[in-house]
Chains A and B, each alone.
Chain A
Amino acid sequence: MRQMAAGEVGGLETLYDRYHAMAYALALRITTETGLAEDVVQDSFLGVWRNAARYAEAKGSVRGWLLAIVRHRAIDAVRRQRNGVALGDESEEVLPAALTLPDIWPEVAGRLDAQQIRRALTYLPPAQREAIELAYFDGLTQREIADRTGAPLGTVKSRMRLGLGALREQIADPMPEPHSRKGLA
């Protein structure tokens, strides 16, 4: 990030080489269209590049920051497309505060692999996981999730809270084996 803040493309190359597949997977999961996902990834990396100096003042991991930008940009692209509005150049855009919260477990993340994190997600009861995924990957509000799933709004809120809490516990203290999931729901 320091390299990028100093205007060195090498820093962006490193960032791209490290996270492009994750960024593209997230963009594609949200947009479901390769062309749109490619645009989102390009705009997101350029957003990081152009705002690298701002990152120096922020907390959290570069990975978390980049993925928050990808997610925000992808959801925005889908909404714009749905409403017939063209995608704008928002690579200079500052993210909403809720999307740039600090990554609180960088030390934990260092000893977790993607497989363990995926396993933690599978431990969630389906309804909790669905509520979180509809919000995270589809950009739906709690009210929209309630409409889509037919669950009362209060239930959706409760599922989100319980799901995030359980996920937090799992990430902080991952269970080694899939069969030992008692007490998580």
Chain B
Amino acid sequence: MAMSCDRISELAPGFVLGALDADDMIEVQDHLSRCRQPHSEIVEMGGVVPYLAEALEPIEPPAWLRESVLSAARSDIDARRRAEEPVSLPVAARATITSLHEEPAPLVLLSAARRSRRRRAMGWASRVAAAAAIVVLGGYAVVLQGDLQKAKNAQSEDASLYYMWAQPDTLKAVLVASDGSGASGMAALRPTGHILVRLHGLAQTKGAEVYAVWINSGGTTPAKAGTLTVDDTGSGYLDVNNVPTTASLWVFVCREPNAGVTAPTGPIIVSGTISL
């Protein structure tokens, strides 16, 4: 333990306010994580810090910020659900395989007693027919559910873009096709480097192909903001941070052979100049 407990007490005020030099901050944290002493001075002084914000009069932020926060949270949930949900095809396939056996019941939520009675009443042929119908309906429902989810995701993404677009200091670009393909899009860039890009009318990619969004801020090499994939309606969406922000930026989207490209190689699909 490099620092003594006395030294920690000496550094406590600066530590709880985050006002020590980086080396001291790390050493204090390191000491506290290993020291068996309670170091009540840290807890007592640290307990004051949250109250310092009370010196300020509360200020109402713009009303749209609330919906923007909640919309982003809902997008999180959608993304989480998408990650957890099984894809529609395997579900349907699993149901089809099940239907070939004599246990179609797991596809419908019937109690054991009802299932038993039905089993006695229904012949083998009718059970297969019923199972087949369930498979079809089940598959259809899964497809509908998937479509609905996609629509919700797109709606949530569009809402985020429009909110950002509406903010007064957002840099904006309308992206138009360079090759007459009919593709188009919008890009909204915050002064903090947070960019949202929404594209429509994109051709489907093949294999590892992606669409990459490139930003040229006047340097010799454009910077890659990120890559996006296309859904079955020809739409794509990008939401990333750390994009350079200068007064004038040229944004363009290329179809690239893979997500790992570090410089644009494919044809420019859409482009536009970002400005206020």
Q: Which residues of A contact B (CB under 8 A)?
A: 7, 9, 12-13, 16-17, 20-22, 24-26, 28-29, 33-39, 41-42, 45-46, 49-50, 60-61, 63-64, 67-68, 71-72, 75, 77, 81, 86-89, 96-99, 101-105, 109, 114, 117-118, 120-121, 132-133, 135-137, 139-143, 145, 157, 160-161, 164-165, 167-168, 171
Is the pair A89, B25 in contact by a Cβ cutoff of 8 Å? no
Interface residues of B in 52-68 (CB under 8 A from A): 52-62, 65-66, 68
Are A22 and B20 touching (Cβ within 8 A)? no
CA distance A38 to B45 in the complex (A): 30
Consensus secondary structure, chain A interface: helix
B15 within 8 A of A: yes
Is B231 an interface residue when CB atoms closer than 8 A count as contact?
no
Interface string of B4-41 (1 = CB under 8 A from A): 00000010111111111100010011001100000000
Q: Which residues of B are at the interface with A, using a C-beta cutoff of 8 A?
A: 10, 12-21, 25, 28-29, 32-33, 42-62, 65-66, 68-70, 72-74, 76-77, 80, 167-169, 190-194, 240-245
Measured in the bound complex, the distance between the Cα atoms of B44 and A37 in whole Å is 29
Given the interface pairs A9-B70, A42-B68, A135-B18, the reply to whether A87 lies near B59 with Cβ below 8 Å is: no
What chain B residues lie within 8 Å of A22 (beta carbons)?
53, 56, 58
Cα A140 to Cα B77 with chains together (Å): 37
Q: Is the interface of B mostly helix, strand, loop or mixed?
A: helix
Of B33, B45, B59, which is within 8 A of A21 by CB? B59
